[in-house]
Amino acid sequence: MQNKTIYAGFFPRLAAYLLDLLILGVLLLLFRFSAWIASMRYPDAFIFRDYVFEFSIYDMILYVLTAVYYVVTTYLLGGSLGKKIFHLKVVGQEKKLTFGQILYRETVAKYLSKAMVFVGYFIAGFTEKKTALHDILSDTYVVYDYVDENQIYVELKQIEMQGQNWQNYYNRQQFQPQEKTEEFEEKE
């Protein structure tokens, strides 16, 4: 039995992004606080002067730390912490993303999505597979990551047919099947 791919739309992705901003704010709080104290004491320090397109070294460090958060969480977990909380994951055509694909998506492609007043993000509401500009550029999709209840029902019935008590096997699951699947009905 195959799971149907359900693409995540604009609003669930927005909610995950806002949650990630909160998480990043907490994670970077110590760095920002210490930089704020340093800027009060040494306002002309080189780290706070604008160098490239009015970005200071401080701004570049914040960008790199943010990119590291997104790249590492997407590589290790399949999505940022915000996406995981909302049961979303980032997949590619081959379902498994490469590190280069993730690095490109989370840095260059997302920068381009933000460059024109976030228009790259808004197009996710209008494309067939609900892809934003950074998804299109990196050949990725954001989909719902859920457990198929019918598949669990089939597995539990197979365990029961083997003479095992499925409640002992899945002692922490509180699962009430809604209906039988076609796959299980064929096996009976």
Dist CA 93 CA 76 (whole Å): 18
Q: Determine the pLDDT at residue 70.
A: 96
Nearest to 2 by CA among 160, 154, 139: 154
Angle in degrees, CA 29, 27, 73, rounded to 5: 155
Where helices occur in 78-170 by DSSP H, the ranges are 81-85, 99-104, 110-115, 119-122, 133-138, 149-161, 166-169
What is the chain's Cα-based Rg? 22
Nearest to 180 by CA among 154, 147, 148: 154
Please spell the DSSP secondary structure of 65-79, one letter per residue: HHHHHHHHHHHHHSS
SS3 label, residue 44? coil
Q: Determine the pLDDT at residue 161.
A: 65
In the chain, domain spans = 10-144, 149-187
- Please list the residues that pair with 168 across neighbouring strands: none
Q: Determine the pLDDT at residue 43.
A: 80
Please provide residue 124's backbone torsions phi and psi, each rounded to the nearest 5 degrees: -60, -25
SS3 label, residue 146? coil
| Cβ–Cβ under 8 Å, residues 125 and 135 | no
Indicate yes or no: pTM above 0.75.
Answer: no
Please provide residue 55's backbone torsions phi and psi, each rounded to the nearest 5 degrees: -105, 135
Q: What is the mean pLDDT of each run of 10 residues along the chain (188 residues)?
A: 76 94 93 86 77 78 93 95 94 86 94 89 90 93 78 65 58 48 49
